[in-house]
Structure 1
Amino acid sequence: MTEKPPLDSSEDRAWLGEGHSETQLADVNGADEAGDDRPAWDSKIQYVLAQVGFSVGLGNVWRFPYLCHQNGGGAFMLLYVFLLLIVGVPLFFMELAAGQSIRQGSIGVWKHISPKLAGIGYSSCIVCFYVGLYYNVIIAWSLFYMGNSFQYPLPWEQCPIDVTTNDTVKECAGSSPTSYFWFRKALNITNSIEESGEFNSIMTGCLLAAWTIVSLAMIKGIKSSAKVMYFSSVFPYVVLFIFLIRGLMLDGAIDGITFMFYPKLEIWGNVQVWRQAATQVFFALGLGYGSVIAYSSYNPVHNNCHRDALMVSGINFMTSVLASMVVFVVLGFRAKNIAERCVAENLGLLNLMMSQESNQPLVKLGWPWISTTDPSTVALADYRQWYSQHSSMMGPNITDCSLEEEMNKGVEGTGLAFIAFTEVMALFPASPFWSTLFFLMLLNLGLSTMFGTMQGILTPLMDNFSILGRHRTLLTVSSCGLGFLIGLVFTQRSGNYFVTMFDDYSATLPLVIVVIFETISVAWVYGTDRFLDDIEVMLNWRPPVVYKYLWKYVCLLAMVGLLAASLLRMVFKRPTYTAWNQNTVRSHTHTHAHTHTHTRTHTHTHTHRKTSFRNSLFYVT
């Protein structure tokens, strides 16, 4: 075997420091025989669960279904699979192979190719820290809701009574019980980001609990976090299947599934749909964070990382499909429920109108089976057909009741989890059980991704700085403590707006740029032929030559195109965030005059929605 040294081994030695092997990408025998003291996974299942747990996160549950629904259903899925195969899997395989062969975190891997590339690894660490700051806030919110689920009835089932007026609280009456509980009871949110407000003491406690859980799970590295992964990575699948089975029994479930899978092939000509699909592929696999590299660095050198790339990517996609089915059977039930309530309200108005004119309980307009006294006997389709023929005679108070219109109201992110889903679960028998199950699932999805995010910070630092490697516990606790202290900005009453800002701008562009430089480093600096030679030594077989062209051209051009599309979108679309106004009980769109400060001027644009579904985690894994 011909060993291929790094591009500048002398400079590399100086950077790596004492106690780190001058591992070459092809020097796999040395890695196996040296018997170094690097931690390793106890079993292959631990490693797979860790990679799946990191890549399968909240975005699979509340981002992918929304994109699928908004962008052509089954047609979007086909486009997603296409981009997953030609961009996602090759880049994921590249990170797995690099980490496994060099057995270093992200800093060490790219510095090994050339010390001048170490900045790629440091950039990954910084982005991981940014993401971890606000991602743990979502875990804190899940803890809060899970704690409030041990009540009957659930506290968001109905509006509270104002003790001073002995009437329903005005803010709740003007929106909905679930919206009121989210914006006022959970967040106690201000009207804009400029009004910071005091700290939310309950959310501060939940955030402290979230960081404590992460710290305890990470304190002994993969030896401790891997044990937690057995539960945190598997439990969400159990819950998703339970919800799917329960959801399929609901009225309106089939309507939801049909709505989800109905293909609209014309979307393939829309550039923005391609951008959204590529972005989802990119972030769903967790590329650029350094966590994939960190996890694979603890593998045996001869592990089949190519099979792992295909398996984890496949599981990730199937999880997105499963989650989409769960979301749409639930939203189908919700839409059917809202439409039927609409029919009942309209028939009640008709009955009132008719009682003022005659005692005839039936509408004599060609549809004698439209009973105004018993709405339960009126099918939604019959009402809509009747309305289509007689709406002009009924006046503005009698409205159409469209299930499709309700389904068309795209719901994602926190709007899906903390408003739409809580509304539906309040309708279930034994609602506290279902609510607890749902938020425990969100908690575990968040934690498994958070473990990977923290590993993307800790592993490179401990590999690169021997003094930090000798004080793992102190580094872990200090990192989590610092994350909690900085994260207090998110527990202000205006904290939700900062979460939205961080989500939209802290990770998207940096991660795309990081992956572009990763691809250039492997494909053009180190060389694809050389890299494939190293992989051949590891796997004892050579990957298909198509990877050479995918890495050198297709993936790189796709990432550059995604970067360009994202930059153009930022240039032509001014940054906005949606705020909740307590006085008008409506969501408002705030447009920033500047994008680099947190205190900005803004304009208000009233929307017609009663609840804000915009506050969402678009690009988290």
Structure 2
Amino acid sequence: MSRNGTRLTTPSEEYYLYNVLEVQKSTGFDDLGGVKTSMAVCLLAVFTMVYFALWKGPQSSGKIVWVTATAPYVILTILLIRGLLLPGARNGLYYYVTPDFEKLKDPAVWSAAATQIFFSLGPGFGVLLALSSYNDFNNNCYRDAVTTSTINCATSFFSGCVVFSTLGYMSLLTNRPINEVVGEHDASLIFIVYPQALATMDYSCFWSLIFFIMLITLGIDSTFAGIEALITGFCDESRFLTKNRKWFVLVICIVYYFLSFPAISYGGQFVIPFLDEYGVSLSVLFIVTCEMIAVCWFYGIDQFSKDIRAMLGFYPGIYWRVCWMCSPVFISIIFIMTVWNSSFKPIQMASYTFPWWSVALGWVLRMLSVLPIPIFAIIYVLSGTGSLTDRLKWAITPQQRRHSATSLAADPTQIIDSSLLDPVHTLTPV
């Protein structure tokens, strides 16, 4: 809001922008203004905790996750109860559950929804694959998949109720529509609007304390999973790294720490939107599209169902098989719409336009994550024999691998069920 050309700000916005971030020390994406010392110290503390949570693998991280994964639910429940008792909470909840079907015509909404579910649930990032690889072969992955997906969606809805009950209160307090309560900054809801609402409540220090404890546990928990996926992938390919996991995890945490410096610089408010635009949505959609096509069409639903039967003792139902068959189509459509609507113009914020070279840098960042797939596919096809058609057919055809008792004895680290001594189809990378 503005008066006589001057924009009015709240105390929480003033404190967050000019005291916490100190955005006045940066002029733009091409002048980040150096790293903020206090944030560097806080980030060091975070990665120290991350290191000691991951250095022994699931033995250490599993214990920490019991706290970081459950504490947010306790705090969300407390905040929801408090939010429902606030005046205006009913209006916020009504706005939250009232659908706007016109939004379905916007491809950006579908892309954002797909990206959000991938980010929150984990497919495409390697997190689920990495963590599930520590399970026993006969672990009930069907139950785990349904439970995880249900909890994820229920958590999103639950947290939405917490947020919009408070937004309804802020709407009544500021006499503004709910859709105008959140400001122009991406972090406005978490670090400006919500703290401002908490500051107006009785015992505001208590509510603020538990709210930011929740944010810290959520952030650390997400960091655990993301780094563990990377560590597991490398350790699975190298016995040397597995034996020296503590040192490898230390190196990874140090690299992550220093690579995070641009985000904690005085111009971090420009880095975060840039990474959000070019580092996530399109890349993860492409990766997931390739995964779905490889598993559901190249590998085949029948072979995939046989693998599940070898693990669980029963075939998946017809509902799941139809969903798996159709999912590559829907994911591909969303990916194509996202590419079609991708802007090749610099990112525009409320009062700032990114430099023209940021577009080229952004697409380089995107290509770094997606190019390994087509490059490996080309190399794999070229490694075959015969005509190009024969090579393509060979590349997308599952190859059989026989696990013999001799090979198991030679490599006792293979944890394979006895039923796999028969020929089993394994997925050929493409």
How high is the TM-score relative to the length of structure 2?
A: 0.77
What residue identity is the alignment partner of 1:576?
I
Q: Secondary structure at the match of 1:326?
A: helix
What residue identity is the alignment partner of 2:353?
H
Aligned to 2:340: 568
Q: Does 1:338 align with 2:181?
A: no
Is the CA contact 2:108–2:341 (under 8 Å) kept in the aligned structure 1?
no
Q: Secondary structure at the match of 2:353?
A: strand
Q: CA deviation at 1:542?
A: 0.5
Aligned to 1:86: none
Structure 2 CA distance for aligned equivalents of residues 191 and 425 of structure 1: 31
Structure 1 CA distance for aligned equivalents of residues 121 and 209 of structure 2: 28
Q: 1:286-435 maps to which residues of 2 (within 5 A)?
A: 286-339=122-175, 403=176, 405-410=177-182, 413-435=186-208
CA separation of 1:568/1:191 partners in 2, compared to 1, >3 Å: closer, same or farther? same
Q: CA deviation at 1:498?
A: 1.1
**Residue deviations 1:161-213 (CA, integer Å, cap 9, x gap):** xxxxxxxxxxx994221111111111111232222213211011111111111
Is the CA contact 1:574–1:591 (under 8 Å) kept in the aligned structure 2?
no
Q: CA deviation at 1:410?
A: 4.8
Q: CA deviation at 1:561?
A: 1.4
Q: Secondary structure at the match of 2:30?
A: coil
Q: 1:437-476 maps to which residues of 2 (within 5 A)?
A: 437-476=210-249
Q: CA deviation at 1:313?
A: 0.7
Q: CA deviation at 1:338?
A: 0.9
Aligned to 1:596: 360
What residue identity is the alignment partner of 1:209?
A
Q: Secondary structure at the match of 1:230?
A: helix
| Structure 2: stretches of 5+ with no match in the other structure | 1-5, 363-430
Q: Does 1:436 align with 2:199?
A: no
Is the CA contact 2:29–2:354 (under 8 Å) kept in the aligned structure 1?
no
CA separation of 1:304/1:272 partners in 2, compared to 1, >3 Å: closer, same or farther? same
Aligned match for 2:98, one of 262, 265, 268: 262
Aligned to 2:273: 500
**Residue deviations 1:139-163 (CA, integer Å, cap 9, x gap):** xxxxxxxxxxxxxxxxxxxxxxxxx
Q: CA deviation at 1:292?
A: 0.1
CA separation of 1:307/1:235 partners in 2, compared to 1, >3 Å: closer, same or farther? same
Aligned to 1:184: 18
Aligned to 1:523: 296
Q: Does 1:483 align with 2:317?
A: no
The percent identity for this pair of structures is: 30
**Residue deviations 1:348-372 (CA, integer Å, cap 9, x gap):** xxxxxxxxxxxxxxxxxxxxxxxxx
Is the CA contact 2:32–2:265 (under 8 Å) kept in the aligned structure 1?
yes
Q: CA deviation at 1:288?
A: 0.8
Aligned to 1:222: 58
**Residue deviations 1:565-605 (CA, integer Å, cap 9, x gap):** 2212224x623143xxxxxxxx513144231238xxxxxxx
Structure 2 CA distance for aligned equivalents of residues 181 and 547 of structure 1: 50
Q: CA deviation at 1:406?
A: 4.0
Q: Secondary structure at the match of 2:351?
A: strand
Q: Secondary structure at the match of 1:589?
A: coil
Is the CA contact 1:574–1:592 (under 8 Å) kept in the aligned structure 2?
no
Q: CA deviation at 1:524?
A: 2.9
Pick the structure with more helix per residue: 2
Is the CA contact 1:500–1:577 (under 8 Å) kept in the aligned structure 2?
no
Q: CA deviation at 1:249?
A: 1.1
What residue identity is the alignment partner of 2:336?
A
What residue identity is the alignment partner of 1:279?
T
Structure 1 CA distance for aligned equivalents of residues 65 and 107 of structure 2: 38
What residue identity is the alignment partner of 2:146?
L
Structure 2 CA distance for aligned equivalents of residues 434 and 537 of structure 1: 50
Structure 2 CA distance for aligned equivalents of residues 420 and 489 of structure 1: 25
Q: CA deviation at 1:258?
A: 1.3
CA separation of 1:281/1:488 partners in 2, compared to 1, >3 Å: closer, same or farther? closer
Is the CA contact 1:535–1:543 (under 8 Å) kept in the aligned structure 2?
yes
Is the CA contact 2:181–2:193 (under 8 Å) kept in the aligned structure 1?
no
Q: 1:529-568 maps to which residues of 2 (within 5 A)?
A: 529-552=302-325, 554-568=326-340
Q: CA deviation at 1:299?
A: 1.0
**Residue deviations 1:2-33 (CA, integer Å, cap 9, x gap):** xxxxxxxxxxxxxxxxxxxxxxxxxxxxxxxx
